[in-house]
Structure 1
Amino acid sequence: MKTKKINGYKFFTAMLALFAMASCTEDFTNRPPEDAISLDAYYSTNEQVESATNGLYSRTWFQLENKFFWAVTEVGSGNMYTNSSDVNALRTFSLTGTDPELKRGWSSLWANVAQANSIINFLAARVGPDVSDSVLQNTIGEAYFMRATAYFYLVRMWGPVPIIENNLNYQSTPKIPVNRTEDIYTLIERDYLMAAEKLNAKTRGSNYAENGRVSKGSAKAMLAKAYLYMKDYAKAKATAEEVINSGEFKLLGGSMLPGKNFGDLFKYAGNNNEESIFALQWKGDGNYGSANNCNTQFGIQTSAVSTSNVSYGGVFAPSQDVLTAFTAGDLRRKETIMLPGDSYPDVKVVQGGFLTVPSADEIGGQNAGAAIKKYCLGIKGDAAGPADQWGMMDNNTYIMRYAELLLIHAEATLGNAGSTSDAGALASFNAVRARAGLSNLASITFDDIFKERRKELCFEGDYWFDLGRISRSQATTIMAAQNRGNRITAEYFTPEPGDFLIPFPEDDLAKNPLLTQPPVPYNFN
């Protein structure tokens, strides 16, 4: 590989191999083979520039999404149960900085920041004259989007963390202070706004192969969510309405797509559907960490029935608490939680035939008496797609769906009021309920929206953060009342105030003791 004209691009050069590692959807694979990349020639075509962000749609997220994300957001929130020692610390609020999965999740998010920084700072100087400026700007917009999203997780999990906009600035300065939470949200806002400016506009249609990459609408939708966390309800409402009025996204099973339904969202054939705002694009390629492990970890794995492609599985199960969350007639329940006797004619099992959920005694090793349906596809095949040697599959993982944007719009319209009958808020809120087979409400409160979010987004990684948005006393009361045990033994745990933020990995803290010092203001240039 050529090395001339590198100067300050050493970090960028080191990342090129990882950029080229992962293909995310079919249109992501048009790139030169890794062993043929020349630093001077690599970005000579539009296709090569477009491929620079491929890894940021999958591989950089894997160590977060493989286990730690679920261990925090779903087990920690009380939606999931597990007794597996590597992922159950937040079930009992005993997570420490020595936890290996914590380290992997933390490192994964910083990998996203580092690689996004490389593209933002250096890509423009590495392109040839034949590269379209619109392609270049869209690719840089993707990097801003990914950096904002990584920081959105960092600030909600850890609180104050260092803001790093160019990793080269810190090569010789490993001790970096943390910055104020409000500054991190300023960075997130600026990055999503920059992404919205640079990214292409889209209309999500039935050609799902064209929907994998993020768009202006994706950036604005995520920005609306960030505004909600910032309690800037006016901006959250206006931004959400801009996306709604654009018509880019549609609710599967809503009035615009009545032939589809909530369950279609989580099928392999549903990858990059009209409702998907941003989803991780898994694609097995023979390398560990390229595909989605949820089918193995969420499905049923017993001697009687197995939905796993390998000889292990069923690491996570529904909590006893979440089993009571769905009311009668809610069509989401069966597509979210599998109960004994439920039949799934599109989920193939190892033993032959299709899945009928066994009795509570036989349903799995977690003794939950139920199993997780979301992201559970069954064994590989035409309907479920391929699986790699680790049993990982190619179904997307949602970061945000249009249904959530509708609920954000309703909540932002409500704002600090006790209730609202605003027509726009009700239209958004009731569209989500109608798809679930539930009746319309004529007036809504924050509690209505809070509970609707839990049901709609269950097992998608949001409930922990929703609990973090309400008062500590309210969240503590909710979590202390949850049965966080299994169907045989009830267990209750009460979080302390410090349990709502994740501890820093101990080895990183040893290298950078400033992580636990008071945050300092960030100087935005």
Structure 2
Amino acid sequence: MKRHIKYIAGVAVMMLVTATSCKKDFFNKAPEDAITLDNFYQTAEQVQSSTNGLYNNVWFSWNNKASWAITEIASGNARSYSSDVVAFGNFSATGDNTEISNAWTSLFTVIAQSNALINNLPSKVPASVPSATTNNALGEAHFMRAAAYFYLVRLFGPVPIIENSLDYVNNFQINTNTVVDVYKFIENDLKFAEANCTPMVRSGSSVAQGHVSSGSATAMLSKVYLYEQKYADARASAEKVISSGEFKLYGLDIAGKTYNNLFVTANNNNEESVAALQWAAGAPYGHGNSLQASFAINSIITGTGDGYSVIGPTIDLQKAYEPGDIRKHGTIMLAGDKYPELNQAAGGFTVPADVNAQGTKAGIKKYVTGTPADNGGKGAAQSTGNNTYIMRYADVLLIEAEAVLASAITTSDPAALVPFNKVRARAGLNPLPAVTKNDIYHERRIEFAIEGDYWFDLGRLDGFNAASHPLAAVIIGNQERGTYSNDTPPVVYSQKIPISSSGFLFPYPTTEVAANPKLNESPVPYTFK
């Protein structure tokens, strides 16, 4: 951990002094004259642009592979033979796994950069800059720190709470803090963001809407409350977002759009986007979105030589869709499916009959956006420009439904059914007259498949901060994680993989434990300032 704390702290400060104004995008180069923390934040534009880096490169090692390897493969939505990620499918990943280390390092880098802004802006910004501008930037930093901790606590459980990364450069052996306190810290950050970020009413798609708003913080807070089983608070926050009118459901509230349009680059920062990572098409490695490189079934789709089909949708996920659910076409590719938005120069792309990503007779469509020509001429190998969602408005609607259900077995309360069935209507499905927790979890799985959410849902199924997960273990143990044969019709080579009921957290990276043995000590309460 010593190595990473020193590196992360250094990166955070370096990125602070190289941030710059951003009229057209998130990635303009820094001024060529000398920049220091003492002279950079002199204008409102400079302060506004100081948060740009929080949406891009610091998240890359999480977005690149760790996010989907951990969440989609472990949850049973995806499978892979690839040696670097297969351990997540059979629950054998150890602290030596590269993607566990990448997740840890990337998320703590987000925290470090957020901390650098939080600890420097108040003293470095002159009085000539409007306080609302400074407060908004601070709110964004608090939001991103909360988002990173939200991932970390759900992946690892107790983790160290760090409010100023520079405090630990020479004092790197620090205890983890309790899960309850990490969640309290996340809540506090989101409440700060809610109070200080600028409110927004979203219309169309624009770069300006790429930054989080006060409503984004309220929406994320509703999700955090849901995980803590604070159902009344989750409901209140979700209803606050819904009544604000800031966000809208693509394909239902926004005419002429569909669920599938959510993952088209031209629709970045749309009305449904609560928070998203911002990538630059064709940018150097680490600044563009690399998901298509791993997901696309071939290089015809990408036009840039990548398209490695490292994962395929499990048989279990394929069979989970109800007949007529349009989300299936937008999430997975099946033989004969047609996508006019891909390979447009050749009249579109038809999935070949021999599609077979990782033995699944299918491929991944979500986050696969096509050639540079399909995307306004922009793009390169491992560098597309489509956003990665952290949260969408559909999540808020399903949070509202679950918060109304709370601990009941079933509910027909319109307060739950209206938002729940709105999500189903967008998918082309009939409404349900009543819902159970299983209904909501199923809907969440299908709605957010290949978006890194289902593993975390499984992890909370048995209750907040549960030590054992018998209900989730049964679900995973019954999933079909096998492959199809090449026969006609194909035969399923069944594979059911059990998981320990205590196996829903991942080990700390071995290198971090070696540097900071306190990671293996019992977590301690955090002293809140």
* Class of the TM-score when normalised by the shorter of the 2 chains: over 0.9
Identity of aligned residues (%): 46
C-alpha displacement of 1:317: 1.2
The 5-angstrom pairing of residues 257-272 of structure 1 reads 257-272=254-269
Query: What corresponds to 2:247 in structure 1?
Result: 249
Query: What corresponds to 2:131 in structure 1?
Result: 133
Query: What corresponds to 2:295 in structure 1?
Result: 298
Query: What corresponds to 1:5 in structure 2?
Result: none
Structure 2: distance between partners of 1:398 and 1:14: 24
Query: What corresponds to 1:369 in structure 2?
Result: 361
Task: Tell me if structure 2 keeps the 8 A contact 1:79–1:459.
Answer: yes
Structure 1: distance between partners of 2:188 and 2:91: 34
Pair 1:484 & 2:484 matched:
no
C-alpha deviations, 1:311-352, integer Å up to 9, x for none?
Answer: 4521111111101011111111111111000001111179x4
C-alpha displacement of 1:15: 2.7
Alpha-carbon spacing, 1:87–1:26, altered in 2? closer, same or farther (3 Å): farther
The 5-angstrom pairing of residues 380-391 of structure 1 reads 380-383=372-375, 386-388=378-380, 390-391=381-382
For these two proteins, the number of residue pairs brought into alignment is 510
- For structure 1, which segment, 126-135 or 433-442, has the greater mean C-alpha deviation from structure 2 after superposition? 126-135
Query: What corresponds to 2:154 in structure 1?
Result: 156
- Runs of 4+ aligned structure 1 residues displaced above 4 Å come to 10-14, 21-25
Q: TM (normalized to structure 1)?
A: 0.93
Pair 1:88 & 2:63 matched:
no
Query: What corresponds to 1:327 in structure 2?
Result: 322
Query: What corresponds to 1:512 in structure 2?
Result: 516
The 5-angstrom pairing of residues 342-361 of structure 1 reads 342-348=337-343, 352-359=346-353
Task: Tell me if structure 1 keeps the 8 A contact 2:57–2:286.
Answer: yes
C-alpha deviations, 1:262-291, integer Å up to 9, x for none?
Answer: 111000111000000001001146421001
Structure 1: distance between partners of 2:22 and 2:495: 41
The 5-angstrom pairing of residues 67-106 of structure 1 reads 67-106=65-104
Alpha-carbon spacing, 1:442–1:385, altered in 2? closer, same or farther (3 Å): farther
Alpha-carbon spacing, 1:474–1:12, altered in 2? closer, same or farther (3 Å): closer
Task: Tell me if structure 2 keeps the 8 A contact 1:99–1:505.
Answer: yes
Task: Tell me if structure 1 keeps the 8 A contact 2:20–2:50.
Answer: no
Alpha-carbon spacing, 1:503–1:186, altered in 2? closer, same or farther (3 Å): same
- For structure 1, which segment, 128-137 or 238-247, has the greater mean C-alpha deviation from structure 2 after superposition? 128-137
RMSD: 2.1
C-alpha displacement of 1:306: 4.2
Structure 1: distance between partners of 2:34 and 2:78: 45
Pair 1:521 & 2:515 matched:
no
Structure 2: distance between partners of 1:117 and 1:273: 28
Query: What corresponds to 2:331 in structure 1?
Result: 336
One-letter amino acid of the structure 2 residue matched with residue 358 of structure 1: P
Structure 2: distance between partners of 1:238 and 1:312: 43
One-letter amino acid of the structure 2 residue matched with residue 474 of structure 1: L
Query: What corresponds to 2:428 in structure 1?
Result: 437
C-alpha displacement of 1:54: 1.1
Query: What corresponds to 1:205 in structure 2?
Result: 203
Residue 107 of structure 2 aligns to a residue in which SS? helix
Task: Tell me if structure 2 keeps the 8 A contact 1:204–1:248.
Answer: yes
The 5-angstrom pairing of residues 29-40 of structure 1 reads 29=27, 32-33=30-31, 36-40=34-38
Instruction: Identify the match of residue 51 of structure 1 among 49, 74, 86.
Output: 49
Task: Tell me if structure 2 keeps the 8 A contact 1:81–1:486.
Answer: no
Residue 26 of structure 1 aligns to a residue in which SS? coil
C-alpha displacement of 1:191: 0.4
One-letter amino acid of the structure 1 residue matched with residue 263 of structure 2: F
C-alpha deviations, 1:372-413, integer Å up to 9, x for none?
Answer: 11111111114465213x332000001100001100000001
Task: Tell me if structure 2 keeps the 8 A contact 1:22–1:59.
Answer: no
Q: TM (normalized to structure 2)?
A: 0.92
Query: What corresponds to 1:418 in structure 2?
Result: 409
Query: What corresponds to 1:460 in structure 2?
Result: 451
Can you give the 5+ residue segments of structure 1 that lack an aligned partner in the other structure? 1-9
C-alpha deviations, 1:162-183, integer Å up to 9, x for none?
Answer: 1111123222221111111100
One-letter amino acid of the structure 1 residue matched with residue 310 of structure 2: V
C-alpha displacement of 1:208: 2.1
Task: Tell me if structure 2 keeps the 8 A contact 1:433–1:439.
Answer: yes
Residue 338 of structure 1 aligns to a residue in which SS? strand
